[in-house]
């Protein structure tokens, strides 16, 4: 029951994260808004570690796990924050639905998780066709939409790599410790890259930005990542990343309610094809059995024709 509750909570928080990111950019440059969020999250995470009566592990395996997690917090967040200004928040979440497939493919190669089947390969092709429709629809409507799509795609890749790498590191850390260590490694990386992107403290703060950053610190970074690392310890990587398949519908709802975002018909159709491919990828067993029956039927026909030949 605890695992299910944690899973649903992460779905709820991550579905609202894209629109919260866009609100946090009100009057702020993307790197300033993001680094403030992560630095505040890292400091508060120490209080969380103390509250759970844990302490940060500094073994080699733990440090590797922190670095692996930071790929998802530094790399993925940098990409999605950069692209968030160019596409609707709901579309970001739809593109993030590719995460289960990427994680499954990486797990197949990296962790030897044999979950790629003929049905899943077909599902991947369907999803990519849907993504192609989404990309063509958005870029034809807005010349700068490619930046948002590219940022979201790059973010998904980093997210999937991070999930599989943390699983492979298998450090056995408490979720609170994993979260805090990952946030501190990520915060250090943000600090190092300040000269590259620049940090600009605003003269006036917009209430939307303050509220959104506060929500992202408390829920988006601390609560969500603690729950995420908790379920990652107990479920296969591809099942954990299924969260990104469940979140898009809610994300589009939040975007519609909070920002009056409306997807074009062609974009919506592409998103529907993409999510259909993702659904087939996750619930592939029936289709696999169907394909095996067809393959057996073809094999029997070939054998029969061979025996009938003089």
Q: Comparing 216 with 302, which gets the higher pLDDT?
A: 216
CA 171, CA 153: separation in Å to the nearest integer? 28
pLDDT classification of 67: cutoffs 50, 70, 90: very high
Cβ proximity of 133 and 94 under 8 Å: no
pLDDT at 72 over 70: yes
Over pLDDT 70: what percentage of the chain?
Answer: 79
Residue 130 has pLDDT above 80, yes or no: no
- CA 99, CA 198: separation in Å to the nearest integer? 30
- In contact, 59 and 225? CB cutoff 8 Å: no
Residue 135 has pLDDT above 80, yes or no: no
pLDDT (0 to 100) of residue 141: 57
Average pLDDT, integer, range 149-153: 88
The secondary element (H helix, E strand) that includes residue 186 is helix 175-192
- pLDDT digits over 237-256, tens only? 666 766 766 777 677 778 87
Give the whole-angstrom CA distance, residue 227 versus residue 83.
Answer: 26
Tell the residue number behind the tokens 């057996």, with chain if given.
296
Q: What is the pLDDT of residue 59?
A: 93
What confidence score (pLDDT) does residue 8 get? Answer: 85
pLDDT band, residue 128 (cuts 50/70/90): confident
Q: How confident is the model at residue 159 (pLDDT cuts 50, 70, 90)?
A: confident
Distance CA 113, CA 286 (A): 20
Mean pLDDT value of segment 145-156: 87
* CB neighbour list of residue 186: distance below 8 Å, 6 or more residues apart: 38, 42, 69, 70, 73, 74, 77
CA distance 134 to 271: 6
The predicted structure's pLDDT at residue 61:
94
Q: State the Rg of the chain over Cα.
A: 21
Distance CA 165, CA 170 (A): 9
Give the total residue count for the chain: 310
Measured between alpha carbons, how far is 205 from 67 in angstroms, rounded to an integer? 33
Alpha-carbon distance 205 to 186, whole Å?
25
* More confident site: 280 or 25: 25
Q: How many CA atoms lie within 13 A of 81 on its CB side?
A: 25
Q: Strand, coil or helix: what is 271?
A: helix
pLDDT for 101 equals: 72
In which band, very low, low, confident or very high, does the pLDDT at 310 lie, cut at 50, 70 and 90? low
Q: Percent of the chain scored above 90 by pLDDT? A: 30
Mean pLDDT, the chain, rounded, equals: 81
What is the average per-residue pLDDT within 15-43? 91
Q: Confidence class of residue 301 from pLDDT cuts 50, 70 and 90?
A: low
Given this model, what pLDDT does residue 290 score? 63
């Amino acid at each position: 029951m605890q695992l299910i509750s944690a899973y649903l909570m992460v779905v709820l928080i991550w579905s609202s994260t894209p629109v919260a990111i866009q609100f946090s950019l009100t009057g702020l440059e993307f790197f300033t808004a993001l680094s403030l969020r992560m630095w505040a999250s890292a400091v508060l995470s120490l209080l969380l570690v103390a509250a759970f009566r844990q302490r940060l592990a500094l073994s080699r395996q733990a440090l590797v796990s922190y670095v692996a997690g930071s790929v998802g917090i530094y790399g993925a967040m940098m990409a999605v924050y950069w692209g968030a200004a160019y596409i609707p928040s709901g579309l970001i979440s739809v593109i993030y639905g590719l995460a289960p497939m990427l994680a499954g493919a990486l797990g197949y190669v990296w962790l030897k998780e044999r979950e790629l089947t003929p049905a899943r390969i077909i599902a991947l092709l369907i999803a990519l066709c849907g993504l192609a429709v989404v990309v063509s629809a958005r870029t034809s409507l807005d010349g700068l939409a490619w930046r948002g799509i590219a940022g979201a795609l790059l973010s998904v890749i980093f997210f999937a790599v991070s999930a599989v790498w943390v699983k492979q590191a298998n450090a056995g850390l408490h979720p609170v410790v994993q979260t805090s260590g990952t946030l501190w490694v990520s915060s250090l990386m943000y600090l190092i890259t300040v000269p590259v992107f620049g940090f600009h403290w605003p003269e006036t703060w917009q209430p939307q930005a303050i509220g959104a950053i506060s929500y992202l610190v408390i829920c988006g970074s601390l609560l969500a990542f603690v729950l995420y690392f908790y379920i990652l310890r107990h479920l296969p990587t591809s099942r954990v990343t299924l969260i990104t398949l469940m979140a898009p519908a809610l994300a589009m709802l939040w975007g519609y309610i909070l920002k009056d975002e409306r997807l074009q018909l062609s974009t919506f159709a592409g998103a529907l094809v993409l999510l259909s491919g993702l659904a087939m990828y996750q619930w592939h067993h029936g289709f696999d059995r169907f394909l095996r029956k067809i393959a057996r039927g073809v094999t029997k026909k070939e054998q029969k024709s061979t025996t009938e030949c003089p």
